Amino acid sequence: MNFDVAETSIRNSAYSVIVKNNHRIIGMGRIVGDGAIYFYIQDIVVHPEYQGKGIGKEIMKALTKYLEDNTPDKAFIGLFASKGKAEFYEKYDFKNYSPNMTGMFKVNSEHTREFI
């Protein structure tokens, strides 16, 4: 993640959740998309010191509640799960509907090889 532009990306998200402890950000998640058909859950992250305390669950509850209240019928809601994290998202009814499809992405950078 490019932290130099993180504030701008949060500000331009459709919806975001930021969890703080004594003014320190310890967790976040956000929704991006076109506001009509496609919505993506992005950047669900909890600081390692605070993991295992239900913070990620609360972030997901807030994001899924927003989506339930603010998306049209048959909207596509997607996310990319990190390796080993799919089970967490399955609790919120996310499924790998098509094992024949592969989620792909590209990072716009001269140093892409360093990122991956």
Cα–Cα–Cα angle for 71, 77, 81, nearest 5°?
A: 145
**CA-closest candidate to residue 76, choices 15, 35, 30, 29:** 35
The single residue of 15, 38, 50, 89 carrying the catalytic annotation is 89
For residue 46, list its beta bridge partners.
27
Residue 40 catalytic? no
User: 16, exposed or middle or buried, with CB in 10 Å at 0-12, 13-18, 19+?
Assistant: buried
Structure tokens at 112: 């892409």
Catalytic residue set: 89
